[in-house]
Amino acid sequence: MIALFFRDLKLSVRAGGGAMIGVLFFMTVVSVIPFGVGPDLNLLARIGAAILWIGALLASLLGLDRLFQAEREDGSLDLMLMHETPLVLTVFVKCAAHWAATGLPLVVAAPFLGLFMNMDELAIGATMLTLLAGTPAITFIGAVGAAVAVALPRGGLLVSILVLPLAIPVLIFGVSAVYAAIEDPAPFLPPFMILMAITLFFAVIGPVAAAAALRHSAD
C-alpha cells in the first residue's frame, strides 16, 4: 500500500502536472474576483473565505477523471480487481495519494491568496484549517464519480457534474466554520465538527461506492 501511495503520488504530479494546474487554476479564480467586485478591501475581506473555498472546490475537481483512467488504459485496473488486497483499501490509498498531490497544495497556497483578498491572520488560519479538513471529502466524493465514468471516453465533465452537487455541504460548512471563527457570537466548533463528520463519512462511503462502481464497469 505504501508503494501504491507513492506510485500514485508521482503519477498525479506527472500526469498533466496535476498539482501545479490545480494551484494555478485556484490562483486564477481568486485573482479575477477583485476585478469583478471592485477594489473595496473591506468587501474583499468579508467575502475572502467564501472565494477561497469556491476556488479550492473548483480546483479540486480538476484531474478527478484521471483517478482510475491510467489503470484503465494500461490494463492494471483488471489486476487491481483480481488482487488479493481488498479493492476498497486500494481505492482509499489512491484517493489519499490524489489528495496529497492536488488537494494539499491548495491548502498551502491558501494563505498567500488570503493576503491577496485582504484577509486577516485569524481568517487565513481558519480557512487553511477548514480546507485541510474538508478537501479530502471532495476527493472521496470524486472517487465515486471517477469510478462511474472510468469506462466513458469523455468522462471528465460527467465527473464534475456528479461531484459538484454532493460537495455543496462541504462548501457550506467549510465557509460557515471560517465565518464562525472570525465572528464572536458564532461558535466555531459546531460547523467545523460537522465538516469533519462529512469528511469521515465520505472516507468510509466513498471507497466502498467507488469499488462497487469499478467492479460493475468491469463486468
Nearest to 170 by CA among 202, 143, 145, 144: 202
Contact 124, 190 (CB under 8 A): no
Q: Which residues of 17-55 are buried (b: 16+ CB within 10 A; e: fewer)?
A: ebbeebbebbbebbeebbeeeeeeeeebbbbbbbbbbbb
CB within 8 A of 178, min separation 6: which ones? 49, 53, 123, 126, 127, 130
- Taking only the tens place, the pLDDT of each residue in 161-180 is 888 899 999 999 999 999 99
- Taking only the tens place, the pLDDT of each residue in 119-175 is 999 999 999 999 999 999 999 999 888 888 776 666 567 788 888 899 999 999 999
Residue 190 pLDDT > 80: yes
Nearest to 18 by CA among 82, 97, 86: 97
- As given in the structure block, the three cell numbers for residue 17 are 502536472
Percent of the chain residues past pLDDT 90, beyond the cut: 37
Nearest-angstrom CA–CA distance, 54 and 63: 17
Q: What is the mean pLDDT of residues 10-24?
A: 70
- Taking only the tens place, the pLDDT of each residue in 37-91 is 877 888 888 899 999 999 999 998 887 877 777 676 666 666 777 777 788 888 8
pLDDT value at position 193?
Answer: 95
pLDDT value at position 149?
Answer: 79
pLDDT band at 116, cuts 50/70/90?
confident
